[in-house]
C-alpha cells in the first residue's frame, strides 16, 4: 500500500510539471464549435459504470452534437488515473470522484470541475454503492471490518474515505481496516473467491455480487451524507483559459444530459447496454444514482473534513469554491 500511495503522489507531481511547461495544442481538440459550425472531437476519460449513463444518453439525444461536439469516451479504472490524462491533454474532459479532485488540487494539479456527475440517492441499504460481504461472512456490520481486508477501486479515495466513516458510525475503528485495490468489474469474483473480506462496489458490480449471494452491510455514500456529490466532470484550468467556449458548451450539454437522465430513468438504464455488458435481470435490478444538475457544497465540505481527518491532504486544505 505505501508503494501505491507514493506512486500516486509521483504521478500528480509529474502532471504538475508537465502542465507548467504547457503545450501549444493541449486540449484544443480540433476545430472550434463556434464560428462556422465546425465540429470538435472531444475525448472524455470515464469509468464504465452506471454513474456516467447521462453522458452516453446525452450523446444519443444529440445534446452534444447540437453544440458542435463529437464525443469520444475512453475508459479508465478510476478518477486518479483520469486526472493526469486530462491535465496532459490526452483527454479534454474527465469524470472523477470528488475526493480525487480535491487531492489533485492540494497537490497543485491545475483542474477545474465544470459539471456535476453523480450523487448518492440517499438510501441506506439501497444506494448506488454498497459495502458487501460474502453470503457466509461473519461480518454483520461495518464495525466488524476491523482487521479485515476491504477492496476499493483506487486507494486514498472516496471509497476508503466513506467506508471509514461507515465503520466509525458503526462504532468500529477505521484505522484497523486494511484496504486493497481491485477494479470494480473484478470485485464480485474477488469477494466470491474469498480473496477479500469485503468489497466496496458500485453498479453493476453490486447487483452481480448479489446474484452470488453477497450482502450489503453498509452504504458508505448515503451514510456519509444522503446528498453526497460523488463525482463531477472536470477539465484542466489550461483548457478553461484557452478554449472557454468549448468548456461552456460541454457544460451546457452535460447539464442538459443530467436533467434528461433524471426525468427519464428507464432510458438512462437502457443506455448502459451501449457501453457495458449489462443485460437481463442485472440491467433490470441495478440501482441508479441521483443525477442532480448542481453539486451539493455542504456534502463536499463534509467529505473534505473526513479526508482531512484521515490525513489524505497532509497539511493543506482544498479550496472547494475554486475547484467546484
pLDDT band at 23; cut points 50, 70, 90? very low
Over the stretch 60-94, which tens digit does the pLDDT of each residue have? 999 999 999 999 999 987 777 899 999 999 999 99
What strands lie across the sheet with 40-46, from one edge to the other? 69-75, 40-46, 93-97, 229-236, 111-119
**With 80 as the cut, is the pLDDT of residue 3 above it?**
no
C-beta of residue 141 within 8 angstroms of C-beta of residue 169? no
In the chain, the DSSP E strands lie at: 40-46, 69-75, 93-97, 111-119, 130-133, 149-152, 178-181, 198-201, 215-218, 229-236
Q: Is 30 strand, coil or helix? A: strand
pLDDT at 267: 97
- Segments making up each domain of the chain, as ranges: 2-120+228-323, 130-224
**Mean per-residue pLDDT over the chain, rounded:** 89
Rounded-to-integer distance, Cα 9 and Cα 164, Å: 21
Over the stretch 41-53, which tens digit does the pLDDT of each residue have? 999 999 888 999 9
Q: Write down how long the chain is.
A: 324
pLDDT band at 24; cut points 50, 70, 90? very low
Answer positive or negative: Cα dihedral of 138, 140, 141, 144.
negative
pLDDT at 78: 72
CATH label, 2-120+228-323, candidates 3.40.190.10, 2.60.120.260, 3.90.25.10, 3.30.70.1350: 3.40.190.10
Which residue in 225, 207, 209 sits closest to 290, CA to CA? 225
pLDDT band at 28; cut points 50, 70, 90? very low
Check if CATH label 3.30.420.40 holds for domain 130-224: no
Amino acid at each position: 500500500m505505501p508503494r501505491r500511495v507514493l506512486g500516486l503522489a509521483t504521478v500528480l507531481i509529474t502532471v504538475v510539471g508537465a502542465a507548467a511547461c504547457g503545450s501549444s495544442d493541449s486540449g484544443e481538440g480540433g476545430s472550434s464549435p463556434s464560428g462556422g459550425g465546425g465540429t470538435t472531437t472531444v475525448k472524455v476519460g470515464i469509468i464504465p459504470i452506471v454513474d456516467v449513463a447521462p453522458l452516453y444518453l446525452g450523446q444519443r439525444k444529440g445534446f452534444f452534437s447540437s453544440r458542435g461536439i463529437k464525443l469520444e469516451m475512453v475508459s479508465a479504472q478510476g478518477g486518479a488515473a483520469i486526472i493526469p490524462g486530462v491535465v496532459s491533454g490526452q483527454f479534454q474532459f474527465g469524470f472523477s470522484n470528488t475526493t480525487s479532485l480535491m487531492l489533485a488540487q492540494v497537490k497543485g494539479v491545475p483542474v477545474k470541475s465544470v459539471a456535476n456527475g453523480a450523487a448518492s440517492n440517499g438510501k441506506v441499504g439501497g444506494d448506488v454503492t454498497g459495502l458487501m460481504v460474502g453470503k457466509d461472512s461473519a461480518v454483520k456490520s461495518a464495525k466488524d471490518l476491523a482487521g479485515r481486508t476491504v477492496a476499493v477501486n483506487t486507494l486514498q479515495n472516496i471509497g476508503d474515505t466513506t467506508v471509514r466513516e461507515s465503520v466509525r458510525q458503526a462504532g468500529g475503528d477505521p484505522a484497523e481496516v486494511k484496504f486493497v485495490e481491485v477494479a470494480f468489474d473484478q470485485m464480485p469474483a474477488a469477494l466470491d473467491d474469498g480473496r477479500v473480506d469485503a468489497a466496496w462496489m458500485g453498479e453493476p458490480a453490486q447487483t452481480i455480487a448479489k446474484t452470488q449471494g453477497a450482502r450489503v452491510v453498509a452504504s458508505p455514500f448515503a451514510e456519509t451524507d444522503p446528498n453526497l456529490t460523488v463525482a463531477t466532470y472536470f477539465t484542466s484550468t489550461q483548457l478553461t483559459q484557452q478554449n472557454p467556449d468549448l468548456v461552456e458548451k460541454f457544460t451546457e450539454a452535460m447539464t442538459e444530459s443530467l436533467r434528461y437522465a433524471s426525468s427519464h430513468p428507464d432510458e438512462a438504464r437502457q443506455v448502459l447496454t451501449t457501453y457495458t455488458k449489462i443485460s437481463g435481470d442485472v440491467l433490470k435490478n441495478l440501482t441508479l444514482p441521483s443525477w442532480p444538475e448542481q453539486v451539493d457544497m455542504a456534502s463536499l465540505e463534509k467529505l473534505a473534513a473526513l479526508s482531512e481527518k484521515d490525513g489524505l491532504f497532509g497539511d493543506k486544505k482544498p479550496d472547494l469554491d475554486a475547484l467546484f
